[in-house]
Amino acid sequence: MIRPLLPDFIYAPPDVPLQVVYEDKHLVVVDKPAGLLSVPGKLEGRSDCMISRLQAARWDALLVHRLDCDTSGVMIFARTKQAQGFLGQEFEKRRARKTYIARVKGDVQGESGRIDLPMGSDWPNRPRQMVDHENGRPAQTDWQVIGRAPGETRVRLSPLTGRSHQLRVHMQALGHVILGDPIYDVAGASGWPRLMLHAETLGLHHPDSGVWTDFAVPCPF
């Protein structure tokens, strides 16, 4: 299928203070703003990112996972190699639990459900991902309606897997694209100040004590 080209990506990271949600000698949790890359981009002019800003204040911060540039919310970093390995396993073994808040286009039918659609890269249209029943990797997302307004629905999304752009592709496949999405709703994104997707909570075992620990950042929209 031939799709319209994506608009040129102009990287203009927000000039906002670093927001640390929690920290100890093993980890640090931040509220990543929308519009900021998690790690440096490959092209010139994209060195400003969440990890570089954090390391300027916490030199020992180590990457554990990523959030899309356009997504805001809870992001965790390790402060030792041991903690990095432990936290990485929490994500790899799917022990970590995440919830997101999204505002999506249209009136979602029903109150909750599960999207179970395999995903893969849409190579001719990168960075797009797509539902791929032949070669895609398994991907599951639970959803729950938490609010309704004219022309849109507010949902809480719980990814059971961690595919790139999983929530964005799954909601598009459900027929309810996330509002403000510059990749999956090119025509409609211009009417919104940002992608309406926020990482609300993250729960996992603490790398030192092993105790289950939850972190949360209130949704800004």
Task: Please tell me which residue in 31, 48, 60, 68 is annotated as part of the active site.
Answer: 68
Q: Is residue 68 among the annotated active site residues?
A: yes
In order of 13, 22, 32, 95, 157, the CA distances from 202 in angstroms are 24, 12, 13, 11, 12
Residue 154: strand pairing partners: 103, 147
Contact criterion met (CB below 8 Å) for 152 and 106: yes
Which amino acids are annotated catalytic? 68
